[in-house]
């Protein structure tokens, strides 16, 4: 309930900050001769820019913003609201040109004022930002390339848009309006400085060293990190962090990974990473002694937020990683609550942590159900894709009191959520984790 109330406060704060520039536009005397459509165009432009500026806070990983919802939810909201903001920004010149065709000359950079051309370039920068995010894979952009484009396009777009507003100057007259935009710009700059300067400096003061690189099943590797000169990082089981390996924390070379180690041992952190992309393909080549930096912890995918009599976990592939952190933590806590784990893999040879899962069944009140999508002919266990019937065969009678955790590929998560809904499990009792931020 505490997270619900706090989440409502954050939501109201976001809406207030978005609407304040529009409300302040109403202050002071009206400007004659502007007309409804021109004022609507200006209002949409201000709203769009205000929303774009607030994105610095949504992507800044501020704990006060992410903790009520989970950072993956905040990032998905960031993506959706960016499309709304960009639509507003597109409507700003479109309505203006349709209502006053004579203004088309302002688009000519050879004759238009500099602040007008700045606004045009800002719109193209925002378009680049949106298109590169929606079609990153189709454009062949690597994650790090996309982050560089995304960051520079956002800063250039917001900066030139502000220059455009200052150049127009119709809506900055008076102490209230001018003071408001000075305050808005100041907060945006402070957020950017915190993310790009202050936070990396704090990370640099708390470095880690790669102590071991352990080969796991199914092209996965576990990196064991030990803190240098500090006590490590406290986190909740199931959470994740952004990891930078062998680079400066100021470099845009960080990637999100779940902790796979027990939360009871902050002095030794572990991340289990599967070879899936350009960066992860090199994990096995990391040498012990390499310097690393961690930004975290983040995420709400943790049982510590839910006091219930039992838990059920559904993991697909490397989605077992945060769940292993939960199981290892429960073992260290000597937690005897009933636990049920569905582990989905192609075959037994690809079940990451298979041997340890067998051992954990002796240490915990844990039942592991292996589900194979391509089983051998002699396999007598569960096979195929998880559905309501399969889950229902293994859930206990007190299933309605359980909390459910789902981690794996997006299609699997969607199928599991639908299956749990068929079984009558309320959606608020189903937690999921996804790193598909882009």
Instruction: Give, in degrees to the nearest 5, the angle at Cα 271 between 265 and 274.
Output: 155
d(CA 226, CA 394): 39
241 and 176 in a common domain:
no
14 and 152 in a common domain:
yes
d(CA 277, CA 274): 9
Both tokens assigned to 409:
């590929």
402 and 337 in a common domain:
yes
Residue 438 domain flag: no
d(CA 276, CA 286): 16
| The pLDDT of residue 29 is above 90 | no
d(CA 122, CA 237): 42
pLDDT digits (tens, 9 = 90+) for 125-183: 999 999 998 888 888 887 778 888 888 898 899 899 988 888 887 767 767 777 777 78
| The pLDDT of residue 1 is above 60 | no
Instruction: Identify the pLDDT of residue 79.
Output: 86
Q: Tell which wins on pLDDT, 15 or 147.
A: 147
Q: Which of 280, 298, 316 is the last residue of a domain?
A: 298
132 and 265 in a common domain:
no
Inter-helix orientation angle 143-168/36-58, to 10°:
140
Q: Tell which wins on pLDDT, 142 or 354.
A: 354
294 and 309 in a common domain:
no
Domain span at 383: 304-433
What predicted TM-score, i.e. pTM, was given to this entire model? 0.82
Inter-helix orientation angle 143-168/114-134, to 10°:
150
Residue 266 domain flag: yes
Lowest mean pLDDT among 51-65, 226-240, 273-287: 51-65
227 and 190 in a common domain:
no
Mean pLDDT of all residues in the chain?
86
Residue 37 domain flag: yes
223 and 173 in a common domain:
no
Q: Tell which wins on pLDDT, 336 or 247.
A: 336
Beta bridge partners of 215: 221
104 and 248 in a common domain:
no
d(CA 226, CA 267): 6
Asked, as a colleague might, if the bond just before 20 is cis with ω within 30 of 0, I would say no
Q: Which of 150, 177, 203 is the last residue of a domain?
A: 203
Closest CA to 408 of 340, 343, 362: 343
d(CA 17, CA 19): 6
pLDDT digits (tens, 9 = 90+) for 280-313: 888 888 999 999 999 989 888 999 988 899 999 9
Contact (Cβ atoms closer than 8 angstroms) between residue 59 and residue 75: yes
pLDDT band with cut points at 50, 70 and 90 for residue 390: very high
**Sequence-ordered list of residues with C-beta below 8 angstroms from that of 139, at least 6 positions apart, any chain:** 132
d(CA 117, CA 160): 9
| The pLDDT of residue 8 is above 90 | no
Helix (H, G, I), strand (E, B) or coil at 250: coil
181 and 216 in a common domain:
no
84 and 15 in a common domain:
yes
State the average pLDDT over residues 321-342: 96
Q: What is the DSSP string of 343-374?
A: EEESSGGG-TTHHHHHHHHHHSSEEEEEEESS
Residue 276 domain flag: yes
Q: Tell which wins on pLDDT, 8 or 154.
A: 154
Lowest mean pLDDT among 128-142, 183-197, 301-315, 339-353: 183-197
Closest CA to 159 of 128, 185, 177, 183: 185
Q: Rg of the Cα trace of the chain?
A: 25
Residue 253 domain flag: yes
Q: How many domains does the chain have?
A: 3
pLDDT digits (tens, 9 = 90+) for 413-437: 999 999 999 999 999 899 987 655 4
Instruction: Identify the pLDDT of residue 61.
Output: 78
**Sequence-ordered list of residues with C-beta below 8 angstroms from that of 78, at least 6 positions apart, any chain:** 55, 58, 59
d(CA 110, CA 116): 11
Residue 47 domain flag: yes
Q: What is the CATH number of the domain that holds 311?
A: 3.40.50.80
Exposure string for 161-177, b = 16+ CB within 10 A, e = fewer:
bbbbbeeeeebeeeeeb
Instruction: Identify the pLDDT of residue 23.
Output: 66
Lowest mean pLDDT among 14-23, 56-65, 127-136, 376-385: 14-23
Residue 135 domain flag: yes
């Amino acid at each position: 309930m505490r997270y619900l109330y706090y989440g409502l406060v954050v939501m109201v704060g976001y809406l207030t900050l978005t609407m304040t520039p529009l409300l302040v536009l109403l202050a002071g005397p009206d400007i004659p001769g502007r007309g409804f459509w021109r004022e609507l165009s200006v209002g949409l432009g201000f709203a769009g820019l205000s929303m774009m500026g607030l994105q610095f806070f949504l992507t800044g990983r501020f704990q006060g913003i992410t903790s009520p919802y989970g950072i993956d939810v905040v990032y998905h909201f960031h993506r959706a609201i960016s499309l709304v903001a960009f639509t507003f920004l597109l409507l700003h010149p479109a309505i203006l040109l349709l209502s006053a065709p004579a203004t088309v000359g302002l688009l000519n950079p050879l004759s238009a004022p500099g602040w007008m051309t700045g606004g045009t370039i800002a719109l193209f920068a925002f378009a680049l930002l949106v298109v590169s995010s929606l079609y990153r894979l189709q454009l062949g952009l690597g994650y790090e390339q996309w982050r560089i484009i995304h960051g520079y396009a956002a800063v250039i777009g917001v900066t030139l848009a502000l220059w455009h507003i200052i150049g127009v100057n119709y809506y900055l007259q008076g102490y209230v309006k001018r003071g408001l935009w000075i305050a808005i710009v100041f907060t945006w700059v402070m957020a950017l400085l915190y993310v790009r300067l202050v936070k990396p400096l704090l990370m640099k003061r708390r470095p880690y060293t790669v102590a071991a690189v352990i080969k796991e099943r199914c092209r996965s590797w576990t990196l064991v990190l030990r803190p240098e000169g500090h006590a490590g990082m406290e986190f909740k089981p199931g959470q994740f962090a952004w990891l930078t390996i062998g680079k400066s924390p100021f470099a845009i070379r960080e990637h999100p990974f779940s902790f796979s180690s027990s939360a009871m041992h902050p002095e030794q952190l572990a991340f289990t990473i599967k070879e899936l992309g350009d960066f992860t393909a090199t994990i096995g080549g990391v040498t012990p002694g390499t310097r690393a930096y961690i930004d975290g912890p983040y995420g709400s995918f943790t049982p510590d937020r839910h006091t219930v009599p039992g838990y059920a976990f559904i993991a697909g592939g490397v989605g077992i990683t945060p769940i292993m952190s939960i199981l290892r933590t429960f073992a260290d806590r000597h937690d005897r609550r009933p636990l049920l784990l569905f582990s989905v893999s192609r075959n037994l040879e690809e079940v990451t942590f298979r041997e340890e899962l067998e051992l954990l069944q002796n240490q915990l009140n844990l039942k592991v159900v292996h589900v194979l999508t391509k089983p051998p002919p002699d396999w007598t266990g569960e096979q195929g894709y998880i559905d309501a019937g399969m889950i229902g065969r293994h859930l206990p009678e007190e299933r309605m009191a359980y909390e459910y955790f789902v981690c794996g590929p997006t299609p699997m998560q969607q199928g599991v959520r639908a299956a749990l809904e068929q079984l009558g499990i309320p959606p608020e009792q189903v937690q999921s984790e996804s790193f598909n931020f882009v």
